Chain A
Amino acid sequence: MNAPDTSAKRWDNLARNRAARLARAERLASGCIVPSEQIVQLLEAVIEPGDRVCIEGNNQKQADFLARSLIKTDPSRLRDLHLVQSVLALPEHIDLIERGQVSRIDFSFSGPQAARLARLVESRKITIGAIHTYLELFARYFVDLTPRVALIAAQAADREGNLYTGPNTEDTPAIVEATAFKGGIVIAQVNEIVDKLPRVDIPADWVDFVVRAPTPHYIEPLFTRDPAQITEIQVLMGMIAIKGLYAEYGIKRLNHGIGFDTAAIELLLPTYAADLGLKGKICTHWALNPHPTLIPAIEAGFVESVHSFGSEVGMERYTAARSDIFFTGADGSMRSNRAFCQAAGHYACDLFIGSTLQIDLQGNSSTATKGRIAGFGGAPNMGADARGRRHASPAWLRAGREGRGDIAMPRGQKLVVQIVETFREHMEPAFVERLDAWDLAATANMELPPVMIYGEDMTHIITEEGIANLLLCRTPQEREQAIRGVAGYTPVGMARDPRMVENLRDRGIIRRPEDMGIRKSDATRDLLAARSVKDLVYASGGLYDPPRQFRNW
């Protein structure tokens, strides 16, 4: 038999292409260091038309200098780019599309640019591959959306190109791993170049070029909620969550969304929950960014462990000083990792709770509104049952028993909770017959309406009217009435069948505050462990250093 002829087929095209790109860039760098004034030429040298490009950024840190530099490149040379990145949050991301340099995008979140993006999609200036969750997009980096060029952000580099990403490590490891090990090019913007890094987060041989940005990369303090803005209704809903859910199921491992509703829960732990004797019994292990509003609970000894997606501006000294709680390196500073924390939130947590804008009668919830393509971020990974989960916990087993009834094979379920006031500001109802997501999908030619949490994953809804336990509903009609039954005086709530709702209440599917022994009039802000940002600073022993916009001192 003849040996197969392999001479015609080359197997190192990526490596040779990479070498050609590096050769074009050689004159621009000394070692791996590129002067900031050469950055536009560097980008033009290493990026080719049609490349998949990832500009690092999340809702926290941003490779903003590299994004600004990319829109200075020659559009006739750098064109047909395919952006594959977590967020389209900077104006420059959208500018690139408007300049005609980008033809396709795959992303997760575009909150700040949602309206501009929707206009571009409607005028067919851009094709969206898909809107992913963060974990889903990272997964595709390793399958069919591997970046050719990654533009990343780090706190510091040494002269060899080792990077320190520190508390805001975030997405960097996932992006660099996929790019560097598939023949791609990695360019890092850093705030400073130093002789010795505190620790190495990304090794130098995964990084091709380092540029010192003229200004430090931007970080948004997205997870700071000023306790002064928490309302009595949010306190009431927090009491309902703690007494009616966390205590009932014995929730120890959990993730909280961003928002004042969940901030209220965090601030009620050292007061209301402690008075209920729940310390050590609930909320011990978290997949959570270092929320400043968690400080009082940590100081009260409620919390044993917190792993974080990213960091939070001003929490650096506090997290470093609480290394028993947070994941910290040998140098003492925290390390976050979005991919791992998303996995932790999906598989290792018994409960996710977050807020939303709209919930329909099947329990689907969405933050999509007409004329805005905002995407998902990471919430759907937290807010979904982990079908692959194989380890048990009391909370998970109880939810499984409630949801699956008496089936032969024991199996648990994650608790996925939405916490909303029945009316948002301007008397916008949070409960609707039909999600705006349908209209958005139609106008933006999306294959799927952008649903944040599917009804089949949602287990409980908390409003100021009480809790609806959707696990216990046995028919679609019961489910609908359970949702109407906590929808208050919204049109959806007013259209309830009062007899059926009372029946659901008798069966414990709907529980009112009084059914749980919660007196509404006890819901005052005096229950909050901190009522201002300054209270948080005092609670931290002066370690928390809030950003300027949150200070009044």
Chain B
Amino acid sequence: MDVIPKWADAVLVPLISLILAAVLSALVILAIGEDPVAAAKLMVEGAVGSTYGWGYTLYYATNFIFTGLAVSVAFHARMFNIGGEGQAMLGGLGVALVCLYIPFPHWALALPVAIIGAAAFAAIWAAIPAYLQAKRGSHIVITTIMFNFIAAALLNYLLVGMLKPSGAMDPATAKFAATTHLPTFQDLFSWGEKPVFRGAPANVSFFVSLLACVAVWFLIWRTRLGFEIRAYGESESAAKYAGISPTKIIMISMIISGALAGCMAINNVMGEAERLVLGSVEGAGFIGIAVALMGRSHPLGVLLAAILFGFLYQGGAELALWTNIPRELIIVIQALVIMFTGALDNMIRMPLEKIFLMMRKEGAA
């Protein structure tokens, strides 16, 4: 029997982790001689105080939803896909090739093809480590780390070489055609006199990411394949006994995971930059780990955690702009969240279990 009720496991444990991370972050801000309350106010105002702020928060959140879902799907099969970063880079390459070389008449046509391009490239990048894990027993964590670096070298090679338009200085592809421009929130929601979301990069990809949340929920909890993935994740030997092929599950779950990470590119490459630049992923692949851990690998949790991290990212940028607190504060917060929700989970769970046990005994008496 579970000691902790389900609601506490889903809400209380992440919440306490988050509070601990926030308290420590506040101490860090104090230690570097800044005011944590003023910093928090500035972050809230900058990230959610205007439609402009929301436009950035949701733009970042879109990236993190995709990478968070990617890590979650792999987690359900008890695999740690640390290669979201590299897979998202390859996804960017897929989007860039599609947008550069296929003349689309309209973005509504370009978007699905770009999604296929991104997913296909990233899925292949994830499939190699998956194959090596399934068939040769190479540890997926190590191989996906290595593939992040190989992806970075590959993109570096392509962007300073082949894909760079002649005469250009910075390592990036040419600008995509105007017909592949995805409508931003400003295009979508500004009817009256005053434009909303002015200049913010949030775009229709956000809605694609919401669809991805629903699709992942359906896959994991409502299909036979999802059941097999979860069964394999719970116990490899039991899954084998039930006739589930480990090779199949490892391959399929990593391919889905990679494809999801790759889909991030429709937001940052196609939606925002409208060309492929070097280092466009900006660590979003790693934030996916924090998002998945915090969201307990559930799409709804991932969505909320991604919005939280979107808020932190936008708020952090505002902090760096207006105070002496560098952007790296966000990396510290991210580290604390990963530490508390991921590795130090038991530190929070053990005392909670004790409390719930005591309460139950009192209730019975």
Partners in one complex: no
Task: Give the A-binding residues of B (Cβ under 8 A).
Answer: none
Task: Give the B-binding residues of A (Cβ under 8 A).
Answer: none
